[in-house]
Structure 1
């Protein structure tokens, strides 16, 4: 019917995905037991149960460096587990925060959180950049900020975005957690209508997931100096503000960091990432976690939109995970090194 309509009006068109359903089935089939699958654990998508198991196993296997923190729980009472990576006990140590999976259907996002932890544990004392970062900063990683929504994308609707909270006023389910933070909450770019994808909730932090993250960051705001939220898709490195067209106080610093990260991605991986303040680079999006974190005092705050540009969109095939994660990794390292440089007091010269 659609094809006929397009042809009748002489609209040229191209089918990008001949069978989206087939792609979804391929991604939800956990092919670890498939002898033909040469991919590693980190080059596949994983169910929520698998990710919880991985969190516990990672902490168990690395007792000196990894600690599991229960940040809170979701609307459906699933735990929000963050991993704390800490490689030494230096005093006055700063930290960075990375969250993934705030939007349920963006599967490559939790895949990156797992990838980052694995890379940090494997390459500490091998790769100079990650060693320098981890020597100077602890890292908090929350692999799935929206566990109820993520679970729902595996069982029921692959394209679900919001959490799964039930509204008292309507039969429509869920709040967009990235419109639920207290940063110009529910102004242009969000909606009061619970049936929309960008529903902002009843009030700021009305959702247990956003409130848990906000509470954690409030109680660690003196140590957390870099905030990163990982999304997909569209290949962008964004920073505040998204909730207003005004420029952030340290706009130039943030722009330089994002630009350097985008240039490195292009140099090493031949892939282009747009960068800039969220509102001017894509659209107004109030109530976002990055703007809220920035206003809290975390002056280096970024949202990454990973691969791709729209061919597969949220259905990025598992074969693209490693490329997407390597690009994000180089951006994280580039920005984190700059943050360490700008915020750490120089170590005193040895007395001779």
Structure 2
């Protein structure tokens, strides 16, 4: 009898050991993102760690570099369906336990959540590491990710209004090359056809005035054989195109000129909305200056840099994707170079985040999210099912006529006015404010 009990206990311990070993395989360690420069694999490990831990985080693989490294982006969306379901389950469970003292029954296997009918520009896109040697841009991008995920409670008001897509390493091949071979390397690592040279400047490879000006294959600023010749720029182009109707603010991180700049880069002329862009840049500058006294210069890219840059990502985002707000943030500093020492990473990351956070808040106010004007009308003027159906048909017709642009520039009620009786609109205001 004791022999049987001993055998049974041994089997039980074996099962427990197996289950624990399976659990350990699921645990993803957390790299230290605040006080050192992570390698590309460690960065991807950190993104995986966040995705496993938080229901409002999703990691996307945008493509692969020439050397087959994954180019990943992290999406932080507090209002995602997955996170809202989790919050609702937690709230229901807490309420039920407060009343009964027992756990609630499990929810039905599938519930059809009513999707929001609102269309808005509420997405912030941040990219870093376009130039391989600018390690501090990747550290700052990771600091932004850290603040929006691990410190999400203190940034709840920001997350409640805005979605974020952050690409911390746009040029993974070049970044890894700077660790192993040449710390001053700037370009990617794809060989140039019919030459012995390697690498293209990813910030000269976008299809916006790409053809302007010469570009020598021997230069650090070589623009490539054609627009989007590089897998990295094609990957960024695809995600921008996919989210173009929702993008509110595009921010490209570079170093080390200590300035916040807006388009254009290809010429010294200013865009029509330059005053709005300058106001946004000044917001970031003032926030950083108030924090530690560091002074950032503000102006257009071509004027501040004293050169014309063709095929840049910011010009492409602003001119082709038509993101309302697009800036370049050149991080500190002249004395520290592209790769500041480890003790400077956290201070620079923190001060940069304060400026970026304030710019995101102001961006939301400068270009407020726009409802589909049809929804505004339906909620304010349509009183019958027939009128609602008529407005929906008119909305579909206009959407087909303008498939790639938001309708916020043309108030929907101008098109829908003949469909609505005068007595419905009498003494009724229809605010379509965009």
Question: Normalized against structure 1, the TM-score is what?
Answer: 0.82
Matches within 5 A, 1:35-184: 41-62=33-54, 64-89=55-80, 91-93=118-120, 94-126=122-154, 130-184=155-209
The structure 1 residue matched to 2:288, chosen from 251, 260, 265, is: 265
Q: How many residues align?
A: 304
Tell me, yes or no, if the aligned pair for 1:45 and 1:107 is still in contact at 8 Å. yes
Tell me, yes or no, if the aligned pair for 2:33 and 2:143 is still in contact at 8 Å. no
Tell me, yes or no, if the aligned pair for 1:186 and 1:192 is still in contact at 8 Å. no
2 CA distance for matches of 1:79 and 1:40? 21
Deviations 1:40-78 (A, max 9, x none): 54111111121121111111111x111011111112221
Question: What's 1:299 paired with?
Answer: 324
Structure 1 alignment gaps of length 5 or more: 1-38
1:197 deviates by 0.3
Superposed CA RMSD in Å reads 1.9
2 CA distance for matches of 1:319 and 1:120? 22
The one of the two structures with greater contact order (alpha-carbon pairs below 8 A, sep at least 6) is: 1
Q: Which has the larger radius of gyration?
A: 2
Question: What's 1:288 paired with?
Answer: 312
Tell me, yes or no, if the aligned pair for 2:276 and 2:366 is still in contact at 8 Å. no
Please say if 1:251 is aligned against 2:299: no
1:241 deviates by 0.6
1:227 and 1:110, CA in 2 relative to 1: closer, same or farther beyond 3 A? same
1:324 deviates by 1.4
1 CA distance for matches of 2:327 and 2:314? 6
Tell me, yes or no, if the aligned pair for 1:72 and 1:80 is still in contact at 8 Å. yes
2 CA distance for matches of 1:41 and 1:76? 24
Structure 2 alignment gaps of length 5 or more: 1-30, 81-115, 381-434
1:184 deviates by 1.3
Question: What's 2:365 paired with?
Answer: 341
Q: Give the secondary structure class of the aligned counterpart of 1:241.
A: coil
1 CA distance for matches of 2:222 and 2:282? 32
1:187 deviates by 2.3
1:322 deviates by 1.6
1:113 deviates by 1.3
Matches within 5 A, 1:177-256: 177-188=202-213, 191-256=214-279
1 CA distance for matches of 2:39 and 2:152? 28
1:326 deviates by 1.8
1 CA distance for matches of 2:60 and 2:338? 29
Tell me, yes or no, if the aligned pair for 2:324 and 2:367 is still in contact at 8 Å. no
1 CA distance for matches of 2:33 and 2:239? 30
Question: What's 1:16 paired with?
Answer: none
Deviates more, 1:130-139 or 1:285-294: 130-139
Q: Give the secondary structure class of the aligned counterpart of 1:68.
A: strand
Tell me, yes or no, if the aligned pair for 2:50 and 2:149 is still in contact at 8 Å. no
The structure 1 segments of at least 4 consecutive aligned residues displaced by more than 2 Å after TM superposition are: 89-94, 122-126, 130-133, 342-348
Question: Normalized against structure 2, the TM-score is what?
Answer: 0.67
